[in-house]
Structure 1
Amino acid sequence: MSNKAPRGVRLVITLAGRRNAGKSSLINAIVDQDISIVSDQPGTTTDAVAKHYELLPLGPVTFYDTAGLDDSGELGELRIKATQKVLWRSDVAIVVIGEEGITNYEKNIISEICELKIPFITLFNKNDLRPPSTEDISYCHENNFPFLEVSATNSFNIQEIKNAIIDLAPDEMKRDPVLAGDLFSEGDWVVCVVPIDLSAPKGRLILPQVQVLREVLDYNAVAVTIKEHEIEKALQNLNSKPALVITDSQVVLSVANDVPDEIPLTTFSTLFARYKGDLPSLIKGADAIDTLEDGDIVLIGEACSHHPVEDDIGRVKIPHWVRQYTGKDINFETYSGHDFPTDLERYKLVVHCGACMLNRTEMLRRINECKRRNVPITNYGVAISKVQGVLERIIAPFNL
C-alpha cells in the first residue's frame, strides 16, 4: 500500500554519516528487509537509495540511504553533493555515528541540518562493538541533541528508532492534511472542472485533480467532474447550489465568467499552493508581476521533469500570459526536478508549479530560500489568476 501513496505526501527520512557507519544496515533493520547493499568495504552506497515503508501512525514514508560524508575524490564530492540535495527535501534526518565516534564530518552535517531546521536524531551505531565515548555523549547533552545507542547487527533499539522518528515528524504529518475539505461539508456538491491536460499520461488525470476528487469522496460530499464547456448545463441540473467549484487554472477566466459570483470558486493549483506551501506568501509574490520590466528574467520552477508538449503550461502559456499582461519583453528560464538554482538573485520572480511531486518541506524550503534572497515567489495557479484578473475571487474561499 505504501508504494501507491503519492511521492509528494510521503514523510522523507534521510540517513547521513560517514562511509561504513552502518547506514545501509540500519535501514535494512528498520524496514526488516534487505534493501540496501551491506558490505564492510567503505563506500558501498554511491547514490541515494530510496525505500518506501509504512510507518504507523505516520503512514507511508521514504527512507533515503546516502553516500558517506567522507567520500573522497572528484566522484566522492559529487556523491556528497547528492546527499546534501536529499537533505533539502527531508522531513527528518538521522545522523549515523560509526566506531570512530563524532568527528568534524558529523559536526559539519549536524550544523547543516540545524541550519536547514530539520529535526534529527543521532544514532551511535555498532553499540555491540563499541559504546559511544563519554566525550560524544557530552557533546550531545551540551547541545541538547537527541541520541540513541543502537545496533543494526543485533537489532538493539530498532523500535526506539521508529518511535523517535514518529516523535520528530512535523505536526502536519501526524494529522490528515486537508486540500479542500474545510471548504465544504458532508453531502455538499463540489464541481470539478477538468479540461483534458495534454501533459497527463493517456487515460489519466493529473495528480492534483485525483487527490481532490479522492478527498471529496473521503469527506462524504458529491463530486461532479465536467469539462469547461459543460458548466452552465451542470449547474442547471444540480438540485442545489454547489458549495465549491474547483477549476484547472488554464481555463480559470472562462470558468469564472460562467460560474455565478455567489458560488465559491478556486483552482486546483491554488489549493496545492496552500497544501504544499505558504499561500499568503505566494499571493504576495504575484504582486511582483506588476513590477516586471523589459529584459527581466523570470524563473519557471518545475518539480518534475517531463517532455514538454506544444502548448506547455509552464514553458509556453504562462510566459505568453505574463508578457501579454505586462506588455514587457520578459525572459523566462525553466528549472526542473529536485534541483533549485543557487543564483536566485538573477531572477526578478520565481513562478513555481503546484509542487504535487514535492513534499511540503521541500516546497517551504524553496519559498524560504527565495525570501532570504529577496526574490518574490508565486505559483502557477496564483500567477495565472493574477494575470487573468480573477485572483481576488479565486482566493476568497480561504478568508485570508
Structure 2
Amino acid sequence: MNDTPASERLHIGFFGRCNSGKSSLINALTGQSVAVVSDIAGTTTDPVSKAMELPGLGACLLTDTPGFDDTGALGPQRIERTLRAADRTQIAVLLFGEGDCAAELDWLGQFRAREIPVIAVLAQCDRLTDPARAARAVEERTALPPLCVSAATGQGIEELRRALAAVHRDEPREITAGVAEQGDTVLLVMPQDAQAPKGRLILPQVQTIRELLDKECTTICCTPQGMSAALAALARPPKLIVTDSQAFEAVYRQKPAASRLTSFSVLFARYKGDIDAFTDGAAAIGRLTPSSRVLIAEACTHAPRTEDIGRVKLPAMLRKKIGAELRVDVISGADFPDDLTPYDLVIHCGACMFNRRHVLNRIARARAQSVPITNYGVAIAALIGILDRIEY
C-alpha cells in the first residue's frame, strides 16, 4: 500500500478553526503521531498529507489543514492553501465547536459547491459544556447530524471510521475501458527521452501496463524507432496501439489500418477528467489567432528539460499553426489561476499526479468562466488533424 501513488488514494481532508482539534483527530484516527499537535494557534501552517491504509477504506491520503480562521500575517496565504487542498479532497471532515459556526457554514458551502461529501464532527466533545445541545445546534444549521468525537478519550473515533467508509463509494474506473478488452494484443509506443529518467518508466506507462496485464492482454512495448520491428514480429496487427502523444504523428503514419490508436494522455483524459469537455475544448484551437493567449497547466513540478512537452514542444506546435506571436503561459503543480478569463484556451496535462476530483474541479472552474479547456493528447491530436481518427 505504501507504493500506491498519491493520485490513486482516497483523499480525506480535515478542516476547521485553529486549535479545533484537527491534528489530534488525525492522530487518534490513525493510531499514530501523524500530525504535530500543540495548544499554540497556527501550529499547522501548510496542508500536511500523510499516506495511510485505513480499515474499510484502503489506501488513503489524510490532509491536515491550517485553521480557516487564521488571522496572522500569513493567514490569507494559509487559507488560500487550505482552499487548494479542498480542490483535491474527496471526503471533507469538518470540525465544529460550541458557539457561532458562521465560518464553518461558509466552508460547508465551499464543499457543497464542489460536490464534496462532508462529515460533520463535534470535536473535543470531552471539553464541551453541553455536547448534546451543541450537536443539535450544528444539525439545525447544517442539516448534518454531527459525530461527537474526542481524540483524548477515543469517543466517536470508531464511529468516524465507519462514517468515512459509508460515505466512500469506490467507483471502479479503468484507464483502458472500452478500448482494450480481455486478451487483446496491445502495442505501447514509449519514447525514452529526458522526461523518462534512466531506469524508470513514467507513471501513466506503468499504470497502463499493469492494467493491461490484469486483463491478460498481450502487451508489447517499443520505442517509436522500434515500432516497425515490433509490428513485423507480430503474426497480425495489434488490436490497439497506445503512444506517447508527442509521437502521435509518426505512429499514425506507421499504424496498420486494422489497429486502433490512442495515447496515454488521451486515456488519462478520460480516466482523470471529462473527455467530452476536453474534446469540445479542442475545437477552440481552430479559433485561436496570433493575438490569443493560451494557458498550459502541468500537474508535475519537475525541472524543465529541453525536450519538455508542455513547456517546449506543445507551445512550438501551437505557434507553428497559429503564429509566432501567440502568447503561451505555463504553470505547474498546485498553481491554477482563480481568474481564467484572460485565456482563450487552457490545455491541461494528463494529470497522472492528480486525483480525478482535482481535475474535475479545474474543468468546472474553466466551464464556469466560459473558457475552453482541453488536454495535451487531445490538443496534439487536433493540431495534427487526427482527433476524429483516434480512440477516446
Which bin holds the TM-score, normalised by the shorter protein?
Answer: over 0.9
- Would the aligned equivalents of 1:102 and 1:136 in 2 still touch at CA under 8 Å? no
SS of residue paired to 1:305: coil
SS for the counterpart of 1:346 is coil
For 1:368 and 1:181, locate their aligned partners in 2 and report how far apart those are by CA, in whole Å: 24
CA displacement 1:254-287 (0-9 Å, x = unmatched): 1111111221110000000000000011001000
Q: Cα deviations across residues 158-204 of structure 1 (Å, max 9, x unaligned)?
A: 122122122223x4xx1432001542233221110001131232211
Q: How far apart are residue 18 of structure 1 and its match?
A: 1.0
For the 8 Å contact 1:192–1:245, the answer to whether it is kept is: yes
Distance 2:48 2:22 in 1: 11
Conserved in 2, the CA contact under 8 Å of 1:292 and 1:328? no
**Unaligned ranges ≥5, structure 2:** none
Matched residue, 2:272: 276
Output aligned runs, 1:118-133, within 5 Å.
118-130=116-128, 131-132=130-131
- Given the superposition, is the C-alpha separation of residues 103 and 331 from structure 1 closer, same or farther in structure 2, using an over 3 Å criterion? same
Letter in 1 for 2:121: L
- Structure-2 separation of matches of 1:26 and 1:166: 16
Aligned residue among 219, 239, 242 for 1:243: 239
Change over 3 Å in CA distance of 1:146–1:355 after alignment to 2: farther
Question: Offset at 1:360?
Answer: 0.4
Match of 1:168 in 2: 167
2:197 maps to 201
Over 3 Å counting, the alpha-carbon distance change for 1:83 and 1:327 in structure 2 is closer
- Distance between the aligned counterparts of 2:194 and 2:145, measured in 1? 49
Aligned residue in 2 for 1:117? 115
Q: 1:90-239, aligned counterparts within 5 Å?
A: 90-98=89-97, 100-130=98-128, 131-132=130-131, 134=133, 136-141=135-140, 143-169=142-168, 171=169, 174-239=170-235
Which residue identity is paired with 2:388? E
Query: Alpha-carbon deviation of 1:147?
Result: 2.0
The equivalent position to 2:312 in structure 1, one of 316, 321, 340, is 316
Give the superposition deviation at 1:394. Answer: 1.5
Deviation digits for residues 131-168 of structure 1 (CA, Å, limit 9, x no counterpart): 43536524424642242111111211212212212222
Partners in 2 of 1:190 and 1:56 — Cα distance?
A: 36
CA pair 190-56 structure 1, distance change in 2 beyond 3 A: farther
Q: Which amino acid aligns with 2:156?
A: N
| 1:21–1:97 contact (8 Å) kept in structure 2 | yes
How far has the Cα of 1:39 moved from its partner?
2.1
Number of the residue aligned with 2:8: 9
Q: How far apart are residue 128 of structure 1 and its match?
A: 2.1
- Aligned to 1:319, the other structure's residue is in SS state helix
RMSD: 1.7
2-structure distance, mates of 1:273, 1:74: 40
Identity of aligned residues (%): 42
Unpaired runs of at least 5, structure 1: none
CA distance in 1, matches of 2:142, 2:18: 24
Residue 347 of structure 1 pairs with residue 325 of structure 2: no
Indicate yes or no: 2:282 matched with 1:286.
yes
How far apart are 1:26 and its partner, in Å? 0.5
- TM-score normalised by L of structure 1: 0.93
- Normalised to the residue count of structure 2, the TM-score between the two structures is 0.95
| TM-superposed deviation, 1:328 | 6.0
Q: Which amino acid aligns with 2:17?
A: R
Deviation at 1:115, TM superposition (A): 2.1
